[in-house]
Structure 1
Amino acid sequence: MPRGDKSAYTDKQKRQAEHIEDSYEHQGLSKPEAERRAWATVNKDSGGGKQSGSGRNPSNR
């Protein structure tokens, strides 16, 4: 998967990133910076990409 490919994310994660990006843009950030920060936030919150199965919760490690 090439860098920047968002196909590994769920629809919910993509929607979350879009809303976060809009919020950053509203605060005056440039589009590329807003997008970068939005995806960083989604990755921080969810661990990034699609994950399934037991034992995937980072708080259980």
Structure 2
Amino acid sequence: MRLRCRLSCAEVFEGVSQGETEAEALRNIQEAIQLCLDVRRAQGLPLTIESRQIEAPIYA
């Protein structure tokens, strides 16, 4: 049985990572985060972005 995992990290970049297993998805997102941080550092940008979670009622 194949397992598809999807991970995200909004505090660093707006993106997601996938993998056939949880371990592969984790490796993929770690690599994506590192590459994003390298680019942001080279461009003199902040390493993280502000992130907030809110709850909003849904009316049917």
TM-score, length of structure 2 as denominator length: 0.36
Greater relative CO, 1 or 2 (CA 8 Å, sep 6+): 1
The structure whose residues are more often strand, as a share, is 2
TM-score normalised to structure 1 length = 0.35
